[in-house]
Amino acid sequence: MSEMAALKKQYLLEGLCCGSCAAEIEREVGGLDGVSSASVDLASKTLSLKLKENAEPKAVAEQAGRIARRHGPGIVLRELDAGAAAGEGTGVSGRAKLRRAAVILAAALFAAGLALPLAGGVKAALFLASSLLAGGEVLIAAARSCVHGHVFDENFLMSVAVLGAFAVGEYAEGAAVMIFYRVGEYFEDRAVDRSKRSISALMDIRPDSANLKAGGAVRRVRPEEVAVGDSILVRPGEKIPLDGRVTEGCSLLDTSALTGESLPRSVEPGSEVLSGSVNLNGALTVEVTKEFGESTASKILDLVRNAGSRKARAENFITKFARYYTPAVVFSAVALAFLPPLLVPGAALSEWVHRALIFLVVSCPCALVLSVPLSFFGGIGGASRRGILVKGGNYLEALSRVDTVVFDKTGTLTRGSFEVTEVSPAEGWDRETLLDLAAHAELYSSHPIAASIRAACGSRPDPARVSGYEVIPGKGVRASVDGRAVLAGNAALTGMENAASPAAGTVVFLTVDGAYAGRIVIADEIKPDAAQAVQKLKEAGVRRTVMLTGDCRGAADRVARETGLDAACAELLPAQKVEKLEELSREAPAGGKIVFVGDGINDAPVLARADVGVAMGGIGSDAAIEAADVVLMTDEPSKLADAIRIARRTHSVVMQNVVFALGVKFAVLALAAFGAATMWEAVFADVGVALIAVLNSLRAGKPAPARRNER
């Protein structure tokens, strides 16, 4: 485990349901000694911590638990283990069942008080009993909050509203506020749990056990107990618990939980397999190549769990807004209750107190504080279902404002499987000799172009003939072959800029002892969905698509022409790619984001410089998962358009919730100030609006429809 991984901790905040409480817990825990940063995700009820090197995790957890309990008596802090998915433990506890029964009984007493012809004192007693049954926990929590000085949480505000209603003789309204608040809270929790369960089911790739083969026997063990090099048996219907290589057996694998693709993948001896895949029909023996903590399933689960800690600007804004909105409304309520009776002749105190109580009910910002992070939570989950891993709400938000998409060529728009299509020796050279020298010069290169040249040579290069090997980044290689100085690379390396003629592929020029010896042309096949990807991006409203490549102009123009790209920049060194990306960023309109799509391995500087870095074919690639902000788990560039549509749908849902919630709340506040709103409208503006916003948030994971010329 890396040092950085050891400094990260994540906890489940069981019982957390208050948005303002979540914000206060995040702020106070973030200020503890030993804590570098803290983030509370209300949607998944998780606390993510980054600890300083000298921090004691156990002591920090104890302090964080005390802070959480101070803000919510029912909150329990529980550490999430390395493979647990956020959203576990959403079943109904005995305490929750008891609470539900109490609310049902309270509703029955409330209905009896309304329907039966009882004396005033009896009715008041029924309404009081129903309030205590439904909201006893709320009143206790409010008292504890008051003791600790937290007077702006929803428990305190609801308690004041209910007690105030009883004080002015509005017994039925007081009971109704508490009952409907608890009923709405129940449905909100159900909606949130539904969203969390859908993502937990989606990410149900964590294996519970592994069948370890040792000493001629098979025994069931925990995946953490299996070491690299061990052999495991995977029976039909079982999940592959760890990454490895098939040594015996043939089968079909369901990789849909990893890639979003429903088509099974066939494997045989020698095939690489990834944890989280499901073995469909044949028994497999797999040699483990990665320990459990480094396996694909663990990395994906860790990525999804930590996505909530990277908050979008909208989430941070709502958190800050809630800190000021609630106190402002509360102070307005106090002013509304006491200033008119003091300043306006004939104004009745009870009437203005009643109006002020409506302010208190509407003052809770739960609809915003809960629905906004839940929208991003749903958007990230919806993307994951399609094999698109987004590392945080901030990146999803940035994807919703994409102006320019920049592609790398090799391995992104093209397959990266090269083959030699032309060998043109200079005068005095022949084809076989030229290929032989080129293959030896490229002997130690891992680049796909070098591999294609070695394959075309036919015979295996002899290392004894090669010395002085050197890679010139972005240009080619230099080596001594049989004592002769050989340069193999682009025109800039070999001094052939003026002699280079157009070619439909990548050109490798060769010079031997400073003299031109010929050229080799290597073609790369364009991916089947590359042109479709560019078209879908334009339909999604992306203004410009550009390709940056170190390849020659002829190869770049061919790919740009066949895929429909707006522009292609060729023969770029790695540093020049960054400079070109910065130039494109300056040309983008205000607020427009730049996305770079590469393989996640050779493009780290450009991925880091882009507003959003997207790695292609990230399945099984540690480097891709580490380097990028968004990982497309399959090798299909067309999935980027799906990611952008999901991001825009998520952004649209967030804005709908914000406008709807604030619009209704401010309307009811205005009506209450003029005496035109009752407590029933206030309950709807709080509980009803929160419930509608939460239900609307569940739509966030669906892609927005394609729209031509959106921008």
> Which residue in the block uniquely carries the two structure tokens 């101070």?
70
Q: In this structure, what DSSP letter does residue 688 have?
A: I
Cβ neighbours of residue 470 closer than 8 Å, sequence gap 6 or more? 477, 478, 479
Residue tagged active-site, from 403, 408, 603, 629: 408
Q: CA–CA separation, 135 vs 683, rounded Å?
A: 15
Residue 382, helix vs strand vs coil: helix
- Torsion angle of C-alpha atoms 699, 702, 707, 710, degrees rounded to 10: 70
Cβ neighbours of residue 11 closer than 8 Å, sequence gap 6 or more? 46, 47, 49, 61, 64, 77, 78, 79, 80
Quick one: which of 293, 250, 306, 304 has its CA closest to 273?
A: 250
- Show the CA angle centred on residue 413, arms to residues 411 and 417, nearest 5°: 40
Residue 392, helix vs strand vs coil: coil
- Residue type at 560 in one-letter notation: A
CB of 315 closer than 8 Å to CB of 376: yes
Question: What is the separation of C-alpha 182 from the centre of its chain, rounded to a whole number of angstroms?
Answer: 31
Quick one: which of 494, 685, 653 has its CA closest to 571?
A: 494
Quick one: which of 544, 207, 196 has its CA closest to 374?
A: 196
Q: In terms of C-beta density within 10 A (0-12 exposed, 13-18 middle, 19 or more buried), how is residue 528 classed?
A: exposed
Quick one: which of 161, 153, 90, 149 has its CA closest to 369?
A: 153
Quick one: which of 634, 601, 684 has its CA closest to 263?
A: 634
Strands 593-598 and 402-408: parallel
Residues in the chain: 711
Q: CA–CA separation, 293 vs 571, rounded Å?
A: 40
> Which residue in the block uniquely carries the two structure tokens 């008119």?
340
- Torsion angle of C-alpha atoms 105, 106, 111, 114, degrees rounded to 10: 150
**Can 408 be counted among the known catalytic residues?**
yes
> Which residue in the block uniquely carries the two structure tokens 């409203």?
541
Residue 414: both structure tokens together: 């093209």
Q: CA–CA separation, 264 vs 162, rounded Å?
A: 58
Cβ neighbours of residue 660 closer than 8 Å, sequence gap 6 or more? 689, 692, 693, 696
Question: What is the separation of C-alpha 217 from the centre of its chain, rounded to a whole number of angstroms?
Answer: 42
Q: Which residues pair with 521 in a beta bridge?
A: 422, 507
Q: CA–CA separation, 518 vs 422, rounded Å?
A: 11
CB of 381 closer than 8 Å to CB of 495: no
Residues involved in catalysis:
408
